[in-house]
Every structure is written in structure tokens, then in C-alpha cells.
Structure 1
Amino acid sequence: MIVDQKLSIAPSLTQWPEIEVLEAFVIDVNGVARGKWIPRDRAAEVLQKGMALPRSALALDIWGRDVDEAGLATGTGDPDGLCMPVEGTLAPATWLDRPTAQILMTMRDSRGQPFYADPRGVLSRICDRFAALDLRPVVAAELEFYLIDATRSATDPVRPPKSRAGRWQGWQTQVLSVSELHEFEGLLSEITRCARLQGIPVDATLRENGPGQYEINLKHVADPLKAADHAVLLKRVVKGVAHRNGLDATFMAKPYGDCEGSGMHVHISMLDKAGRNIFASEDGKGSAAMLHAVGGLVSTMGESMAVFAPHANSYRRLTPGAHAPLYASWDYDNRTAAVRLITASKSASRIEHRVCGADVNPYLAIAAILAGMHHGFANELAPPPIPAAKSGLPEDLEDVFERLSSNWDDGIEAFEESDFIANYFGADYQRLYAACKKQELDEFRQRVTDVEYDAYLRNA
């Protein structure tokens, strides 16, 4: 089992004498931070010996409620688990007024191994399978998000941030606009500074299609756990810095019904024990290993959709004309495909997985992607042929590729019944995750929306 190599070397606040409180947290099933504020005089104890948290904190629904069917709270006595610091994640949270440091924690079981219900532990166990093959996945994420006005109401729940240019004009996109970067130069620069203070390897920042929509890319690292840590911590930085600057930031997959959604694209290459990229090929078409990885990704994508699109809103992004894939498709350097192969540089040959919304839990999303690739390696799966026409339109794809789930119900059901998920995530985590998602789905079924009242209350 892969565990952090330096957990025995306890981190320390010595270099930050101004810090008054330690914010220690784990990441739950939905990617939400759950933890405590620890006063400085007790911080050393937490950093050296760990911190107790109820195990049920890992299996709360999106509203923070216990999920009885997950099996961690009701009927168990709701016992504590021991959470240990994740190496390299102790750093100042400079967007907060009170001098605060934060530390990412991971929950352990009684043997000191990753607890099965910790999403970081799910990813760790899948990393073990690659280690057994003497392979190291190299991973980087690209995260899209919206800056939004902090002033909201029931009738105006989301709107673009204020700027000198006034309100957004709906017919504009301004993708890759440098002047739009200038408009929020201070905020975006502060995000970069804060991220680097936390050891998050931020790379490019760019303007995306929607009103107030931006993307930040992360540099690749040869450790999927660290890549997921970086994505989780970057989300916290973006939200924290936006709030400090009088705005909010959202990673909701589709905050505006008539504008682009936000995704998390994941780039992965694969190194052997000699450090060679096994996806590289002389002809630029990708190695046999690369194509087996694609075969695995394509064949397991439908069973993984509850992870790639984890919320009711996620499926609004997966609609025609929304720059998000609708089929479990693949192609070379084609951004309409779910799996894009990038082979222009032999040494940088890699797979870009383009299905995830920005609302995913990065640990689980990267786990599902790597599991699909490993499944392809283990079974030497060949991907389906690429259609001759490459428009990305249904008529070109539907006879070759599986149509991805277009609703939450189907995604949850496919996940819950999947032998592939049970094999790689573990049957216990499969049941836990499905229980959390089904409780959230039940809540949505009880809510009648304003558009239903508008359409049917008087007219039906």
C-alpha cells in the first residue's frame, strides 16, 4: 500500500511565528473540506500525532447531512478515525484575516493504512496497482471556474462580477482575451501568489468563454495523489481569494443555463521504471499501451459517470453545443472527443480526459480515470475505430461510441451495478458513494422548481 513516505517527519509551525490557528481538514465524498480549527498551542500535537474526526464526516451529502445508508454513522456509534497530515500541505492560508495555517489530512484505519472511505485512500489503492506494474502515472489538471457577484437574491442567484465595463453582454465570449485578464489582474495574481505559497504548481491562467469564467492549469507531477491534492487545494485558494476581494468563485458545472459549463480536464502520461514515457511512438499514433489505455477509458466511461458528473447540475453541462463530450469517444488532437490523444511531441505524448466537470472530487475523478486505464492495460483492450467524419455530431458518433448518461439517475445506477467500480474502488466504497448520491437525488425529487410552477401551476 502506498502511503506518504515522510509522515514520520512531523511538519512544524516554527517558520511561521505569527500563526495563531491551524485549520486541519479531510476531503469528503463530495470534495468538501471537513475539519477543525486548532489553537496554536495544540497544533504541534495534531501535526505529530494526528487528529480524531468522526468517520461519518467522509460520507455526508452535499448539504452536510449524515447519510444513514452509507453505513458510517447510524447503528455504528459514529466512531472516530485518526487523521494524519499529508506531507507538503502545511502552509499559510493568506486570504484569511486571522493568521492561519492549513494542513490537509488523510484518515487511516486501525492498521495505519488509508481508510476505505477516504477518497484519497481510494486513489492511493489504485496507485498501488500501477506501482505493481513498475509504472508511474504523470498527472496534471486544468480547472475552470466562474467569478460571480457576491450579492445575490432568490430571483438573481448568480450574476457576473462587476467591472468597469459594466454588466456582461450575452452575445460576447471573449475567450483568451488578454484585456479580460487585466480586468481582474489583482485577484488573479493573488491567486497565483497564494497557490505558490502553498506549494501548488500553478501554470497558465486564461480567460474562458463564459462571463467571468477563467481557467488555471496545474503543472504535471509524477504522483497522482499530489496532483489531486493540488487540485483540491487550488479550489480552496480560488474561493478564498475571490471572497477576500469581494467576489465569490464557483466550480459549479453549469451556473448559467445559457453559457458554457466549467470542466476539469486531466492530462496523463505514463512512465516506466526507467523514466520512459510508454505512450510515445515513432509514428505519432501512440504506442500499443496508449491505445490499450484508451480502450479501457472508453469501455468504462459509462460506469464512471456518477464520478465524472457527480451532481444534478453536472448533466446540464453535458448537452449538445456546450463544448463537453456527449459520447465515450476518442481521437487525435480533437477537443470534441471525450479522450483526446496528444502526440505531437514524442516525449510529451499523453491522454487528455475531457469529461469531468469542475464540480468533481479530484481524488475520485483521477481514481476513475486511472482505473479505466489500468483496466485497459490488464485486458489489452483496443478502442473502437475513429469515424471517418470528425464533426463530433451525433450522426458521426452514435454508431461507434456509447452515448454518455444524460441524467443523474442513470449515472448512479450504472455506478452502483458496475463490477469494474467494485473491483477498483472496492465494494464498500461503491455502496457508500451510491448511498450518498441517492440521498441527494431523493432531495431533488422532492423539490419543485420555479420553472415548473411557471409552466404548470395555472396552465396544466
Structure 2
Amino acid sequence: MVCSEIINRHACPMSPEGTSGSDASPRLIAQSFLDQHPDVATIDILLPDISGVVRGKRIGRDQLPGIFEEGAAFPASVFGTDVTGDSVEETGLVWELGDADYPCRPVPGTLVPVPWTARQTAQVMLTMTDPNGVPFFAEPRVVLQRVFDRYRARGLTPVVALELEFYLIDRKREDHAPPIPAVSPVTGARQATTQVYGLDELDDFEAVLDDVANACRLQQIPAGAASAEYAPGQFEINLTHEADPVRAADHAIMLKRAVKGVARAHGMNATFMAKPFSEDSGNGLHIHTSVLDADGNNIFADPDGGKLGSPTLEHAIGGLAATLSDCMALFAPTANAYKRLRPHNYVPMSACWGYNNRTCAFRVPAGSAAATRIEHRVAGADANPYLVAAAVLAGILHGIETRAEAPPPIDGNAYETEKPSVPKTWVEALDRFASSDFVAEWFGEGFRRVFHAVKEGERRDFEAEVTPLEWRWYLTTV
């Protein structure tokens, strides 16, 4: 059965959780959803880990009301696992806690049908607390919520929008062989040229992209239009601006899952790997941010209506510049991410900014004064959306609170005029992260320790692996 037919089968005019009553009991919410979707047989309960990998369990429909009423149990060590799924003992979340289960409860608004599977199913996201009901310190969603709370304590509201790039690739691949772009369902050929914003490229994969759009509508993910990007088989989908950054990051996680699921339903894979191809563009995660005051005014906008922004905008950029290197391990969290950091690939290499300038790390897009915002262009699509948003928002508020001074804006090609200043290697970024007072203050010393332990263990394992390239270069030549 093709994916569009599956989506039509799930179509329902109700809200994701089947009831619009905000005062409904958790059990009633779950039961109402089941009543609206009588053919749903199983539900995936999802818990994104520290790398943004979605972990979880699959339960029967009869278990769902109990999950909503009493929660589900997951070990705290799920946030101490690396990208391969191995537990990292140095996090202190494994044996020191007896690998104990902690309670997890559904995130409101995330119980939705899953339209890309052959059998009717659904999904709901969870969030963890400790046994005393305190949000769990090492969960990325909780880290972002704490940063958001600091804004709200000042009467400020950050408005954010995330953009995600990805490749559609062939599902069939030999071991140790590089990936290749997926075959177009329309032409039967692989794209071989770069046509940024090309419409023919969208037509080639229209069925896939349409099903992604339909899945987003069904799951109430506020996604905008798709566009072809800078390499064969590469696309971008933008999420719309939201005044709740935690919800915005929830939607980014859901979007990645939807893209991957729909691609599989069409016989191909989708990858958000930062640099899947040596010679082609990498995949980025860009985040647009403005900040509203208690009266709903954009504090980045020039009060006189000009297009250069307010002094507060420059303080925010100063904060982002001052904290970029401290947070580089969050923006580039994998070994592959540092292969994306190359000049002239639309990947900023220094803490610079400019108006309408995509060669800069922090771009102030063209537009009306009321729409003044900062686009943070550093992170790869392999980064955890919660942690990217937390780092960007923390940097902005740090700059506002300390009245940080921004460097002069850059005109022209920043790759030519600005010396690279971001950490160039994974080990350098992790060392900077581990010693950062900014990270400890804004994200907590416990989170800093856990994230560093996970990624440092992952880095050591990666660098210990002997690769096919080494065999090809050195096996018989040295």
C-alpha cells in the first residue's frame, strides 16, 4: 500500500489527542484518541536521547490509557547512551543508579497517528522525571525548558523556527560503500547535478515530499514548503515560527521521524547526517530567533522602524559570538560533523555576523523591522534540536544580560575576510565544552558532565576504529 493511501486511511478532523478539552483527564485523552482511531493496534512511546536519537517501546492500544494515567518506566541510562546505543558508564547514569527505571509521562499534544506504516499505529513523546517528580536533569528537553524559563522570568518570549536539510538516498548499499542519491520515482534516474531551488528536482520526488507534507498535517507539525538544496537529492523543510521553543524542538524531532518513515515507505532512506558526501554540501540545522517583550514587541527591531535593528540585537549577537566555541560540541556533536566545517560550503567558520549575509555564523535576514531576527547557521542536521535551541537561546540571553559587544558586521565574503575561530576538531570542541563555565551555569554541571562523557566515549571508540581508507592507503605501502 502506498504511503498516501495509508495517510488517507488515518485522516481524522479531530485534534491529535482526540479531544480539545484542556481539562480532560489523562486517561480520557488517551481513550478519546483510541475511540477516534479504532484501527490503531500499537503505539510507539518515544524518548529522544542526548544525541537526538529516538528511543522507545511499542505498546498495545489497551496499554495506552495506563501510560497516560500512570506514566511509563525507562532507565535513566537512556540519557547515558551514545549514538550506537551503548551505555557509557562514565556518565554516572548506569551502575551508580543501579540502572534504575525512572517515570516518564506523555508530552501533551504529541499523541498522533503514524501514517507511514502498513499497520495502523500511533506515537506519543515522553519526558522523564526523577522519583521525586523533578524533571530529569540530563534530558535535553528539560535543559531547553530551563533556558526557556529564564526568559519567562524576565517577561520575555523567544520565537524560534528551525530549518532542517536532508538527503534522500538509495536504500541498497554495500558494506563500506558510500551512499548514493535515491532513484527518482518519476524518471527512474539518479539526480547528478546541483539545482538549488530547482522545481524539476521537487517534481522528481513529488510523491515523497507530498507524503511528508501530508504526514506533517496529520501530526500537526507546522512545516512550510520543501525546497531543493545545493546537491543532488538534498532538500530542506522549514518549520514555522513558534513562541514555545520546547514545542518547536518537539516538532523538529517529529519532522525528522516523519521524513525517515515516509522515505522508507517509498523504498528509500533519508539521512540527516552532517556530511554524507565528501564533495557535496552538508546538512544543516538553522534556527531563526526573535524575542518579544511582555507587550509582544520584538526587542530586536529598530524602534524607529529602520532595518538595522536595535542595540539589544547587537548585544544578543555579542552573546552568541562569545559563547559559540563553548557550545560547538552541541552544534557539531559527531565525528562526521567536523567534515562539514569547510569554507565556501555555506558553513560559517568564525563567530561573525552580517545583514543578509549567508557566509556569516549569525545572519540578520532582510525584511521588515517587525520581523527582525537572528539566523544561527552553524549547527549540522545531526545535532539534537533541543540542545541547539538551548545553546542559541542561552547565548542570546547571556548577551542581553551582560550587554555583550558584537563584532562589526561583515559585508561580502566572510570566508575570505574572517580567520576561522571555531573549534576545528571534535576533541577540541569537547575540551572547550567540558571546561566552560557558561555551559555549567546555563545547562547545569550535571548535564555538562553527562554530555561530555557520552560524546568523549563515542569519540574514543570512533578514533579506535580502523577504516577501509587506512587499509587502502597503508596496508601494503608502508
Distance in 2 separating the partners of 1:193 and 1:50: 30
Contact 1:327 1:404 in 2 (8 A): yes
SS at match of 2:287: strand
Q: CA deviation at 1:174?
A: 1.0
**Is 2:87 the partner of 1:66?**
yes
Q: Which residue of 1 aligns with 2:109?
A: 88
> Match of 2:181?
160
Summarize deviations over 1:217-245 as a string: whole Å, max 9, x none.
11111000011001000000000000000
Partner Cα distance (2:65, 2:37) in 1: 13
Alignment partner, residue 288 of structure 1: 311
2:122 alignment partner in structure 1: 101
Describe the SS at the equivalent of 1:302. coil
1:439 and 1:302 mapped to 2: Cα distance? 20
Q: Which residue of 2 aligns with 1:311?
A: 334
- What is the 5 A alignment of 1:437-448? 437-448=455-466
* Aligned residue in 1 for 2:8: none
Quote the Cα distance in structure 1 between the aligned partners of 2:67 and 2:406: 48
Are the aligned partners of 1:28 and 1:118 in contact in 2 as well (CA < 8 Å)?
A: yes
For residues 7 and 112 of structure 1, the distance between their equivalents in structure 2, rounded to whole angstroms, comes to 21
Deviation at 1:343, TM superposition (A): 4.9
Deviation at 1:405, TM superposition (A): 1.3
Counterpart secondary structure, 1:152:
coil
Q: What amino acid maps onto 1:441 in structure 2?
A: R
RMSD: 1.5
Amino acid at match of 1:100: T
Q: Distance in 2 between matches of 1:257 and 1:378?
A: 41
Q: Is the 8 A contact 2:349 2:415 kept in 1?
A: no
1:300 equivalent among 323, 326, 336 = 323
AA aligned to 2:212 is: I
2:348 is aligned with 1:325 = yes
Cα shift readout 1:369-423 (whole Å, capped 9, x = no counterpart): 0110111011010111235x521224x112xxx6111111101111011000000
1-structure distance, mates of 2:467, 2:236: 31
1:260 equivalent in alignment to 2:278? no
- Give the 5 Å matches for 1:16-415: 16-163=37-184, 164=187, 166-169=189-192, 172-281=193-302, 282-387=305-410, 390-394=412-416, 396-398=417-419, 403-415=421-433
- Give the whole-Å Cα distance in 2 for the aligned partners of 1:179 and 1:67: 46
Q: TM-score, normalised on structure 1? A: 0.95
Question: SS state of the match for residue 96, structure 2?
Answer: coil
Determine helix, strand or coil for the equivalent of 2:58. strand
Distance in 1 (alpha carbons) for counterparts of 2:404 and 2:317: 8
Out of 249-258 and 150-159, give the one that drifted further. 150-159
SS in structure 1 at match of 2:477: coil
Give the SS at the match of 1:88.
coil
User: What per-residue deviation string (whole Å, max 9, x for no partner) do you get for residues 141-162 of structure 1?
Assistant: 0100000000010243411111
Gaps of 5+ in 1: none
**Aligned CA distance change for structure 1 residues 98 and 235 (closer, same or farther; 3 Å):** same
- Deviation (angstroms), 1:8: 7.4
Q: Distance in 2 between matches of 1:392 and 1:348?
A: 24
Return the TM-score normalized by structure 2: 0.91
Give SS of 1:393's match. Answer: helix
Give distance in 1, aligned partners of 2:469 and 2:177.
14
Deviations 1:94-151 (A, max 9, x none): 1112211100111112343321011100000000100011000001101000000000
Code of the residue aligned with 1:393 in structure 2: it is: Y
Q: Which residue of 2 aligns with 1:434?
A: 452
Contact 2:306–2:369 under 8 Å retained in 1: no
* SS of aligned partner of 2:242: coil
